[in-house]
Amino acid sequence: MAAMLLAYATVPAKAQLGGVLTASPLDTIGQVGETIGDVTDTTLQPLAAARRDVRKLARDRLRRLARHVSENREAVEWDDRRQPAVRGEVLLLDPDPEALQIVGKAGYPVLERNSIAGLGVPFVRLGVPAGRSLAHAIRELRKALPGRTISADNLHFPAGRAGASVTRKRSPGALPRGGTVGVIDGGIAGSDRLAAQHGFARGAPKSSEHASAIASLLAGAGTAHIYGADVYGSDPAGGSALAIAKALGWMAQQAVPVVSISLVGPDNPLLARTIAAARKKGIVVVAAVGNDGAAAPPAYPASYPGVIAVTGVDGANRVLIEAGRAKHLDYAAPGADMSALVPGKGRIELRGTSFAAPLAASRIAARRASLPSAAKALEAVDTEAVYPSRRTGRGVVCNICRSGL
């Protein structure tokens, strides 16, 4: 039957430093506007069923965003692109006296005038006058300030989930260890590798299962030092572009060489500018492609130029069916059949590209610790990568890193 005709990407097994991949990843199973991913069970599923799965992921994403906005109306609303954002606040980049005078006359108070510390990206945060929606305010300001960069403070969401408690031994093998990784996520608890932590949202730092699991994986992968930036705290409007930008600036001030971001959201001008500034300082930014399926819009910050975009594979080295997409793809790393130690929960099962991104970051950081530049570190990681393809980028890295400490 035609829908069942699938091809295997049969490349020779290649030893990865510290471990060997034991199965070839399955090739892509079809298209729904974009590549929709690899099957995630041990049997070949019909193409029609895979298409239904991808469409369901896209619908689930829209429902999840709508529910978040509906349940947090005091703090969150839709922007002009119908993306969740901080309620009643607009960002203006590169403010000057003329622009500030115009927005003041239009009734928009300046809530904050600042520059992203350590990266020098100037912005103002404006309040939206009562009775005006965020979407209306953005359109009004763009008309009043043609050519200026104006946007909402968009929200970003974690790209993975924790599951039930499990009992699992650590994977055997050894990798070059060490290095420093910054984690922009929730609050980290229980990690002896945590060098420093800072909050960028109301109530932060506040312990997060998601972020603590990431720190556990980094420890298991051999990362020596972790810097944590909590952009969520207890704020329903946490994960905003401004919070992530400030967190990245703090990482730059701490001289963190590699930063992992397991969050996804829409394109945002302030975040794009801040990441570009970080890259100019030599910081490697690693980001997850998300778990909303290939029919979802491209994930950010993974889609920004120069960001290391990472997808996830399961224990049989198959790309996760729910893996999202970015405008480019650099690596794949474990995103399922893995576990982490989380305070108060013990060892728990993990799934999602959230957990693949920090593992790729751990490999880059370990190489960066002994090499003179980010470019040299990435070249070294490329030598570890196995099974390169359009679904795994330059290949799967850190395949034995499936158990956190």
Which residue in 191, 210, 235, 389 is the catalytic one?
210
For the question of residue 156 being annotated catalytic, the response is no
The three state secondary structure string of the chain is CHHHCCCECCCCCCEECCEECCCCCECCCCEECEECCCCCCCCCCCHHHHHHHHHHHHHHHHHHHHHHHHHCCCCEEECCCCCEEEEEEEEEECCCHHHHHHHHHCCCCEEEEEECCCCCCEEEEEECCCCCCHHHHHHHHHHHCCCCCEEEEEECEECCEEEEECCCCCCCCCCCCCCEEEEEECECCCCCCEEEEEECCCCCCCECHHHHHHHHHHHHCCCCEEEEEECCCCCCCCCEHHHHHHHHHHHHHCCCCEEEECEEECCCHHHHHHHHHHHHCCCEEEEECCCCCCCCCCCECCCCCCCEEEEEECCCCCECCCCCCCCCCCEEEECCCEEEEECCCEEEEEECCCCHHHHHHHHHHHHHCCCCCHHHHHHHHHHHCECCECCCECCECCCCCCECC
Which residue in 185, 235, 267, 330 is the catalytic one?
185
For the question of residue 151 being annotated catalytic, the response is no
Which residue in 212, 240, 262, 354 is the catalytic one?
354
Active site residues: 185, 210, 354
